[in-house]
Amino acid sequence: MWAIFQKSDGKIVSLTADSDIEIDKQQALNEIVPGLVGSKNVSDYDAFQVKDREKIRTVAKSVGRGAARIRTSGGGKQDVVDDSPDTALLVVTTNATQFHPVDNVPLIPGDGTSFLVVTLQKVNEQGQPLTRKTVDNDVIWLRADHGRLFQDTDDRAQEIRSVTLASGTAKFRIQSENAKRLATVQMLSTNTELQAGGVRVEFI
C-alpha cells in the first residue's frame, strides 16, 4: 500500500488500495493525485510504501482522523507518525473512610467543619500518570453546588475556585455545610484533550 503525502508538510492525504497486486510509486501518484480536492500538480506530492499489515491498519485509522504524516529523520529515513493530540483524563481519589452502601459516594459529617481531601492525577489513555512539569500543569476549574472548596494546607487554607496541576497532580478540600445533603463538584478545563470529570460527597 502507498501513502500519498504532501511534500510541503508531510501530511498523508490518501492511500492506495490494500491489495496483493502492488502498483509502483509513480503509478500510485498518477492515479490518486488527480482525484484529490484542490490538487494541481503531481510533483507537489510523494508516496511512501507501507508493507507491514498491522501498520497498514494503524495508518488507515490515522489518515481517517487527518492526523497521519510522513516524518523524515536527520538521516533521511522516512516513517509514518500520528500527530493526534494526546488525550488525557483526571483520576479522582479521596481520603474518605465512609461510603454510602449503594453507590459508594464518600460520606462526611454535615457539621460545617468536616472536610474531604480530593486528589487529582492526570493520566493518559492507558492509565499511566502524566508528570511532565512543563506540560501537565493544567488549571482545573471547580464548581460546587454545596459545601465550600479550600486549599489542602494546614496553614490558614484559602477558599478557592480552581487548582493548578503540578507535574500532573493537585489536591483540594471539600468542606461540609451544617446540613444533610449531597454535594457535587464539577471539574472543568480549557484543555479540550483533557476529560476532567467530577466528584460527589454526602454530608450526613
Question: How high is the pLDDT of residue 53?
Answer: 67
Q: What is the 3-state secondary structure (H, E, C) of the chain?
A: CEEEEECCCCEEEEECCCCCCCCCHHHHHHHHHHHCCCCCCHHHEEEEECCCHHHHHHHHHHHHCCCEEEEECCCCCEEEEECCCCCEEEEEEECCCCECCCCCCEEECCCCCCEEEEEEEEEECCCCECCCCCCCCCEEEEEECCCEEEECCCCCCCECCEEECECCEEEEEEECCCCCEEEEEEEECCCCCEECCEEEEEEC
Question: How high is the pLDDT of residue 36?
Answer: 84
Q: Where do the domains of the chain lie?
A: 2-82, 88-203
Question: How high is the pLDDT of residue 8?
Answer: 87
Question: How high is the pLDDT of residue 144?
Answer: 97
Structure-block grid coordinates of residue 199: 466528584
88-203 maps to which CATH number? 2.60.40.10
**Would you give per-residue pLDDT tens digits along the chain (204 residues)?**
898 898 888 888 888 887 777 788 999 898 888 888 776 688 999 998 888 767 767 777 777 777 788 888 777 788 887 776 678 999 999 999 999 999 999 999 999 999 999 999 999 888 999 998 888 999 999 999 999 999 999 878 899 999 999 999 999 999 999 999 999 999 999 998 899 999 999 999
Q: Please state, in angstroms and rounded to a whole number, the distance separating the CA atoms of residues 116 and 104.
A: 14
Question: How high is the pLDDT of residue 200?
Answer: 98
